[in-house]
Amino acid sequence: MSYFWALITALVACVGVQADSASSLGALRLRGGGNVFSDLQERVSNFLPRRAGPKIIISGAPASGKGTQCEFIVDKFGVVHISTGDALRAQVSAGTDLGKMANDYMTKGALVPDELIIDIVKDRLAQPDCARKGWLLDGFPRTGVQAEAMKKAGITADHFILLNVPDQVLTERVMGRRTDPVTGKIYHLTFNPPPAEDLIQKRLVHRADDTLEAIKSRIQQYKENVNAVRGYFRHITHELDGVGDKHMIAGKIAAIIKDSNRNGMM
């Protein structure tokens, strides 16, 4: 034990601590007050590598509330929110090689192929802010091909959050959606009505693809795609009921992410 106390005494001296009694750990105090061990813990932690932020994928059908939950997750955990649309537009705006290739398809009115979308996402995930803060992939991978490409690229996630909402509820949400083209804000005539101001009411837009036929087709396509994707993330999948108070749902998602971070640090 004498060697143990010699080590403690040496550590104490290094951090400017006085020992009132070598017979009790609780008697070790910092000069000016405070406990030696909390100070040592803080000093040592400064030299340890910091744990990277969480890596999250969130998936849900159109009008499942995915966008709202993304906002909560980013606000709570400070991760980098990445949607394929935003990442694609950033590449085009920056005039990168990937952006130029994507723009060629877009100007022709053609869909940007999976291979190019995958390269754009991979490039975004490789940026320093994603490595430091963690990331939130919004609706990607959308297909089994994209999920397979992620696997081959060695891109792994900590969580696959899947929001489940009945078709009838999705349809009701979509049919009542209205967008303000000036602010970009999305309202719902029943659940989140727009302000009563006449100017705002007149400029609201009902998207051309927010029709009953279109939403049914989009829901079916989503189901086919998500069934292919979820197989790649079965071990990290968390299925949640997307119907209910949005704050309650956000709380459940936060608890899942927090619990994983806590376990990963033990």
Report the catalytic residues: 66, 142, 177, 207, 218
Number of H helices, E strands in the chain: 12, 9
> Residue 16, SS3?
coil
User: Long-range contacts: 212-219, Cβ < 8 Å, 24+?
Assistant: 212/171, 212/175, 215/62, 215/63, 215/170, 215/171, 215/174, 215/175, 216/167, 216/171, 218/61, 218/62, 219/61, 219/62, 219/167, 219/170, 219/171
φ, ψ dihedrals at 170, nearest 5°: -60, -45
Residue identified by tokens 């130029």 is: 100
What is the C-alpha separation between 57 and 158, in angstroms, rounded? 8
Encoded tokens for 141: 């991978």
Counted residue by residue, the chain has a size of: 266
CA dist 63 to 40, 134, 218, 228, Å?
50, 25, 11, 20
Residue 146 near residue 114, CB atoms below 8 Å: yes
Residue 170 near residue 64, CB atoms below 8 Å: yes
Encoded tokens for 156: 């792994």
